[in-house]
Amino acid sequence: MSTNLSCLQRWLASTQPIGVRRGPLPRRARRVREAGLWRSEVAAAAVAAVTRPSWTESPAILSRPGMGNGVKEGVVRLREDAEPILPAHVSSKSDHRQVLSSLLSGALAGALAKTAVAPLDRTKIIFQVSSKRFSAKEAFRLLYFTYLNEGFLSLWRGNSATMVRVVPYAAIQFSAHEEYKRLLGSYYGFRGEALPPWPRLLAGALAGTTAASLTYPLDLVRARMAVTPKEMYSNIFHVFIRISREEGLKTLYHGFIPTVLGVIPYAGLSFFTYETLKSLHREYSGRLQPYPFERMIFGACAGLIGQSASYPLDVVRRRMQTAGVTGHQRTSIARTMHTIMREEGVVRGLYKGLSMNWLKGPIAVGISFTTFDLMQILLRHLQS
């Protein structure tokens, strides 16, 4: 402290405003400089203002004795939420880096997660769009016969379309979530992970809705490729061309409304659960960051809760997306749901394949959240 004060005193004593002619000082200024008292008090008050660990507004009194009949005072107040203000170009550059970091981390997280569970996901979609009764035995039998008849790589059929959809979807979703957390945090007066429950839920729901709105046609194309033979659609571009020619461009957004209605609880609850578990872990363990396997567990719980809450709407949207190639009539959300319940029942129809989702969902979401967090930590470390 004494060293800093001495440095400030020497600096103040040696400085002179630019553009001022050197020469004899006016009498009043000379008296002040000769006294040498007000400079030391200014320096002491400045150092105290910087180093004071206070969370309340604290006045720092600057007095200049020997200036006439009285003492002139000035008040410097420090706000409890005062933060360092960065220049505009530095702040903008930092924001751009954060967005790019979130986009890259989210893209990698989505790609790894979906590739890991692609065979299970394809099997689930096949049962969702058909009238067959689902069971674990039938699901694994389907996997086995697909492997025998079409080869091992056929289990990942449609995964290229999945990557085309998932990479931008996950990148947008995670990046949007970080931005919504920041915006809601500044609005409610909280910081990122310290958001209260409702804003935390809202941030996840808005992130999922934003990503789904921008990438929905790719989701429809991926569903079409998963349930059709190779001869019908040779690649992603072929799907777009045939749909636009035979069914119209409007078909690319068929099933969009149930998708958004399903994404709101799914993304909202997933992000909410994951962030809440991390917050509780930080509070009770005393560690700022959980271990990777703990992140996997938190993500698995988040996926289990989110997908269970939104699963009936997931079945409805798959039926609507694939109506043109599976023989089902293209109808509204309510009519599609009513048809499923009438023909297959509520539980067996609307929750068909849920047990498969309980297997693949927690794995995928756990990998996704864990990969995103670890990539964010790595990129921050590389940038620093």
Across the chain, which has 384 residues, the per-10-residue mean pLDDT values are 54 49 49 48 46 40 43 41 45 76 94 89 77 75 82 79 86 94 84 75 95 89 76 80 86 86 93 93 90 94 91 86 70 85 86 82 93 93 84
The answer to whether position 376 is within a domain reads no
Q: What is the pLDDT of residue 359?
A: 82
Q: What is the pLDDT of residue 335?
A: 87
The answer to whether position 264 is within a domain reads yes
Question: What is the spatial distance between Cα 12 and Cα 26, in angstroms, rounded to a whole number?
Answer: 19
Q: What is the pLDDT of residue 221?
A: 83
Tokens of 342: 């009438």
Three-class secondary structure of residue 290 per DSSP: coil
Tokens of 287: 């560690």
The answer to whether position 176 is within a domain reads no
DSSP 158: T
Tell me which residue has tokens 């002491």: 44
Question: What is the spatial distance between Cα 232 and Cα 189, in angstroms, rounded to a whole number?
Answer: 54
- What is the Rg, in whole angstroms, of the alpha carbon atoms belonging to the chain? 31
Q: What is the pLDDT of residue 80?
A: 36
**Number of domains the chain is built from:** 1
Tokens of 141: 């039998």
Q: Which domain holds residue 295?
A: 255-322
- Could you tell me the CA-to-CA distances from 174 to 110, 178, 294 in Å, in that order? 10, 6, 20
The answer to whether position 292 is within a domain reads yes
For the chain, report the end-to-end CA distance as a whole number of angstroms: 28
Q: What is the pLDDT of residue 7?
A: 56
Question: What is the spatial distance between Cα 205 and Cα 195, in angstroms, rounded to a whole number?
Answer: 14
Question: What is the spatial distance between Cα 50 and Cα 58, in angstroms, rounded to a whole number?
Answer: 11
Q: What is the pLDDT of residue 91?
A: 55
Question: What is the spatial distance between Cα 173 and Cα 263, in angstroms, rounded to a whole number?
Answer: 11
Distance of CA 266 to the CA centre of its chain: 14
Tell me which residue has tokens 């200049």: 64
The backbone torsions φ and ψ at residue 289, rounded to the nearest 5 degrees and listed phi first, read: -125, 130
Of 199, 216, 206, 213, which Cα lies nearest the Cα of 175?
A: 206
Task: Let me know if 349 is exposed, middle or buried by CB neighbors in 10 A (0-12, 13-18, 19+).
Answer: buried
Alpha-helix residue ranges (DSSP H) falling in 189-235: 197-227
The answer to whether position 285 is within a domain reads yes
Who's near 336: CB < 8 A, 6+ residues apart? 316, 319, 320
CB atoms within 10 A of CB 249: 11
Tokens of 16: 């002179």
Tell me the per-residue pLDDT of 315-367, one tens digit each, with 9 for 90 and over: 888 888 777 666 666 678 888 888 888 888 888 888 887 887 788 889 999 99
Of 261, 279, 271, which Cα lies nearest the Cα of 201?
A: 271
